[in-house]
Structure 1
Amino acid sequence: MKQNGSAVSHQDGSGAGILVNTRILHAKVSGAQRYLNEILSRLGPHEAIAPASVATGMRGHLWEQGRLAVHRPRSVLWSPANTGPVLRRRQVVTIHDMSPVDHPEWFTPRFAAWYKMIVLRVARRAARVMTVSHFSAGRIAALSGRPLDSIDVAHLGADPRFYGASPEAARARYDLVDRPYVLIIGTLEPRKNLRRAIEAWRIAQPKLGPDVVLAIGGGLSNQRIFKEAALGQDVPNVRLLGYVDDDLLPGLYAGASAFLYPSVYEGFGLPPLEALAAGAPVVTSRDTAMAEIVGPAAILIDPHDPKAIAEGVIQAVTDTAATRALRDAGWARARGFTWDSCTEGLRRALRAAAEE
């Protein structure tokens, strides 16, 4: 254990000489943590390095720009969560999306300014940039000036545990036994569009019957980063589930009458893919990366129009023939996205960085 950082070596598989920035792993599992964990389990030999004590916010960024920047400088560093040491060229950085640069109004001014300053510099300087969709690749190139052909795209994967999941435990845990539910998984970040989702639910719920509930899973957004995004006044049949245990997530998807993901901006959108794998009919935005990921296997809606969102939900819940078709298409679509393929994409980028 080092005074200002801890490092753990792993010596199996392929990928020797790789240093991995794991400072985000102290947080609860969300998209970035799942991405990192899935790849680490497949990557092969690497050294994982993180601050010796939990370092969030500016403390974490300062560790990243200082101590991490000079640790084992001849090794190729992989920074998996949008930022990395600006001074270190010998690295691959995964930038999931450019939302704080595209939409700084969704974030606190301090965070948006810091993110823009660091990420654009890292994007220009790193030996290779990874991202998770062609949409994000285009935005990174447009905003940073980095050539598009030097940005590597590797889609995320759907873990096998989402296929064939049983909903019983999740239904029991969240008091949803014998209650049909439309599921939303996300935070209260402005881009997740929960305000319009609630407006859409006001329209849809009377047409779905008194037993159908809107179940919203996920913690509150970090107010140091995201501006307040309240749900507004009480509406009928809405249940806030809080943070959903990762072990129960597949079953919660599997039991849903529909999964609603009306986000207005995503670099990938892992929850819709996982919902497809679990067999839930998916209603999601046609904007940014979502259509790229779900293809024809979901109902695509205009996320800025509550009426369009409501119509998508009503179709998914009440149209039995459409629901069967969506389930079959969803399973087929999800099987084209694997963590093995995602990891191989990273390996190619690491090899290219090592050769520069």
Structure 2
Amino acid sequence: MRQLVEPPNARRENTAVRASPPAEARPAQCSQWQGPSAGFAFNGKFASQRITGVQRVGYELVMAFQKLFHEETELPVLIPANARTDVSLPKAKVVGPWLKGSLWEQLVLPFAVGGRTLLSLCNMGPLFVRQQVVMVHDVAIYDLPENYSWKYRLWYRVALSLLKRNARHIVTVSEFSKTRIMERLGIDASRISVVWNGVDHFDKIEPDTAILSRLNLRNDGYILAVGSLSVGKNLPRILAAMERLSEHHDWKFVVVGGCDLGVFNPQAKASYDLAKNVISAGFVSDGELRALYENAACFVFPSLYEGFGLPPLEAMSCGCPVIVSREASLPEVCGDAAMYCDAHSVDDIVDKVTQMMQDAALRESWRERGREHARGFRWERSARQLLDVLERELAGGVARSVQTQSKPSRV
């Protein structure tokens, strides 16, 4: 059995973090499946949703996976009628004009799959479709139950109990998530595979620097953080650290993010009296976020729970020094390219931010390490990992005609 290819630099030893298990490199070859049909279709429900971390994975992995096949190969993305029009998906096919959301996914999508294997990449899929591979990003619904409304918890627990029985295979995004899925859902390790996320989608985004003027920010003069009502994001300690730092420094702090009260428990929200130097930016566009990453002095992400953790890698790819916690998947994903803090200690968060902000040479060092590390996380590599899983787990159930072309690998 071939091992999954691990992004370079993620395995470098660092006594401050947990090391990722070593993996074999894949030969520098390009495999493309041929024929009018590869036997796959994508669950495109994510195309109707706001683009957050999970939906980003859906978009990028679908497009990278399609590029592994010849152009004439039929690889439809089955989408609801209310799909977004501002983001294009190759080979998208609208299915069912009336229903949307979970009703569309459960009642319409199963009848459009035909004999294909359905690839559901965003935590959920039709509960009774057996020829299906489901990507479960994490099991926060079990690990952080207080984070969610009771209706959301009930639905996901029922759904996951059925999907774990009916899906052909489970894919997840980190070894951390794989371990948690095994424990919480009782699934054997042989039924779960890891497919890393990529971050090179940020290479294609043009920075929208107008946000810097709008928020009155200057280059290298503010600290960036991502916050939401999610308990796992550790927002109370982030804000407490910013409050304390504001007492002694004139640094600005920018908090990006928001929340969906239909998902998160409203009781998770507390009343925060923000320090005068704290700017709540709310939801921002990809271009605005890139501009914020590129011009920030550092990015602070002391999260308590992450299935993967894209924001630190996005920041690294934009040359922003990163401070993260040692919790969950973050050491596995960030390797030795980030400064680590204790997520449970406001004092330690304050200390690490102070170290970073008071030493320009230190920031430059972390910028270079971060850029190098982020280069190893590419969506083409993620797509090849997914294809490896499908070749291995669905052998005999899908077309096996493969053409191998010897050419330098792009990852």
Structures share a fold, TM > 0.5?
Answer: yes
1:66 matched to 2:107? The reply is yes
| Structure 1 residues 188 and 162: alpha-carbon distance in aligned structure 2, compared to 1, 3 A threshold | farther
Match of 1:18 among 19, 40, 44: 40
Cross-structure match for 1:216:
255
Q: Secondary structure at the match of 1:296?
A: coil
Q: State the shift of 1:21 in Å.
A: 0.8
> Residue 78 of structure 2 corresponds to which residue in structure 1?
49
Q: Which residue of 146, 150, 166 corresponds with 1:109?
A: 150
Find the aligned partners of 1:258 and 1:32 in 2 and give their Cα distance.
24
Structure-2 change in CA distance of 1:284 and 1:343 (3 Å): same
CA distance in 1, matches of 2:322, 2:41: 37
1:347 corresponds, among 387, 391, 394, to 387
Deviations along 1:183-238, one digit per CA (max 9) or x if unpaired, are 1134332221111100111222334x22x1110112x3111110232351131301
Question: What aligned pairs does 1:161-240 form with structure 2 within 5 A after superposition?
Answer: 161-162=202-203, 168-177=209-218, 180-207=221-248, 209-210=249-250, 212-218=251-257, 220-228=258-266, 229-230=269-270, 232-240=272-280
1:74 partner SS: coil
TM-score (norm 1): 0.88
Instruction: Assess, with a 3 A threshold, how the Cα gap between structure 1 residues 111 and 98 changes in structure 2: closer, same or farther.
Output: same
Structure 1: any 5+ residue segments left out of the alignment? 1-11
Please tell me whether the aligned partners of residues 182 and 258 of structure 1 are also in contact (alpha carbons under 8 angstroms).
yes
Q: Which runs of 5+ in 2 are unaligned?
A: 1-31, 67-73, 84-95, 398-411
1:336 aligns with 2:376: yes
The answer to whether the 8 Å contact 1:92/1:349 transfers is no
Kindly, what percent of the aligned residue pairs are identical? 32
Match of 1:37 in 2: 59
Which segment is superposed worse, 71-80 or 157-166? 157-166
Structure 2 letter corresponding to 1:62: L
Answering whether residue 49 of structure 2 is matched by residue 27 of structure 1, we say yes
User: What does the per-residue CA deviation read over 1:116-141, in whole Å, with 9 as the maximum and x for residues that have no partner?
Assistant: 11123213321111111000011111
Give the corresponding residue for 1:3.
Answer: none
Using the size of structure 2 for normalisation, the TM-score is 0.77
Pairing of 1:298-309 with structure 2 (within 5 A): 298-309=338-349
Q: Judging changes above 3 Å, is the alpha-carbon distance between structure 1 residues 124 and 333 closer, same or farther for their aligned structure 2 residues? A: farther
Contact map agreement 2:80 2:100 (CA 8 A) in 1 = no
Match of 1:151 in 2: 192
Contact 2:223 2:300 in 1 (8 A): yes
SS where residue 49 of structure 1 aligns?
strand
Choose between structure 1 and 2 for higher RCO, CA contacts under 8 A separated by at least 6 residues.
Answer: 2
Partners of 2:214 and 2:370 in 1: CA distance: 26
* Alignment RMSD (CA, Å): 2.4
CA distance in 2 between counterparts of 1:163 and 1:287 reads 30
